[in-house]
Amino acid sequence: MLSALTGAVSQGILWGVMVLGLFVTYKMLDIADLTVDGSFALGGCVAAVASVSLGLDPLVAILLGMLAGVVAGLVTGLLHTVFDIPAILAGILTQIALWSVNLRVMGKSNTPLLNVDTVFTRISALTGLNQAASAMVVGLVVAAALVAAMYWFFGTEIGSALRATGNNEDMCRALGIDVRVTKLIALALSNGLVGLSGALICQSQKYADIGMGTGAIVIGLAAIVIGEVLGRLTPGKLQAFGSRLTSAVVGSVVYFLIRAIVLQMGLDANDMKLLSAVIVALALVVPTVVERQRQRRSYSKGGER
């Protein structure tokens, strides 16, 4: 049980990098970018081929996976901003195309990394930690660095313009901000982080698969919502931007812990998609129900007065 929970925490942190990417589009631009399912697998496929076929350094392979995600995000962004295709449809088109692209990249449905050096095997060799502990260390370092970098970036002029675009697009246009550019940057940044996460997961699990990104957006949405719910339950409420970024990663860890516990209780692995959908639905429904109850109580007290 302890081993399963440790593995869940390490996986949750690595997937948390993907959640940070989805946070950019979903929470800032209010776009459920379906490119994520394809760009996550693309990052893993590119990293696997770079390591196995090209023999590149694992760090270089991870960076190439991230750049591949950036390109995927730019494609979606161009379809949406230049050709006025609705964002959700643009994401679907890119996601469908990436299935074939990923097959072309690998030349087959999966690529094992059994005899290939990875960042995790290097950490294990240096520290003597096992695979799960090494993944946890790498994930924590990467996640902390990304949260700090994103906190800084979204405080800059460009980052502030991007956040403003999601809050009030019409006002941004009136102020002279080119919302097409900010959306393009957001989608590229988001999918770059998703590709980075896919590359890390690929090296962690020692293989890349054409279907490894299936359902990634559901996992990401569940993690974001769970993180927000935890933030609301925390005394003082985590409303600061840095805290919201951190809560997204924490939500990912909690999500994978829930999955691990349920699997240990005997749930069929084939029902995991159903469980993911239920978790997302509950995380979305519970805050709404609680808020309505709070409003009803406040109205009742007002009526009594």
Contacts of 142 by beta carbon, 8 Å cutoff, 6+ apart: 14, 17, 196, 200
pLDDT at 305: 46
Structural contact between residues 234 and 251, judged by C-beta atoms closer than 8 angstroms? no
pLDDT at 38: 96
pLDDT at 234: 63
CA 38, CA 181: separation in Å to the nearest integer?
23
CA dihedral sign, ordered 146, 152, 155, 157? negative
Task: Tell me the per-residue pLDDT of 218-250, one tens digit each, with 9 for 90 and over.
Answer: 889 889 988 887 777 665 444 578 888 999 999
Which overall architecture, per CATH, does domain 2-304 show? Answer: Orthogonal Bundle (1.10)
Q: Which two tokens stand for residue 152?
A: 């800084």
pTM to 2 decimals?
0.92
pLDDT at 61: 97
pLDDT at 301: 63
pLDDT at 4: 78
The single-letter DSSP state of residue 112 is E
What is the DSSP annotation of 141-190? HHHHHHHHHHHHHTTSHHHHHHHHHHH-HHHHHHTT--HHHHHHHHHHHH
Structural contact between residues 194 and 26, judged by C-beta atoms closer than 8 angstroms? no
Q: How many CB atoms lie within 10 A of CB 243?
A: 18
> Which residues of the chain register pLDDT less than 70?
1, 233-239, 301-305
Task: Tell me the per-residue pLDDT of 28-69, one tens digit each, with 9 for 90 and over.
Answer: 988 889 999 999 999 999 999 999 999 999 999 999 999 999
Q: Which two tokens stand for residue 72?
A: 């995927």
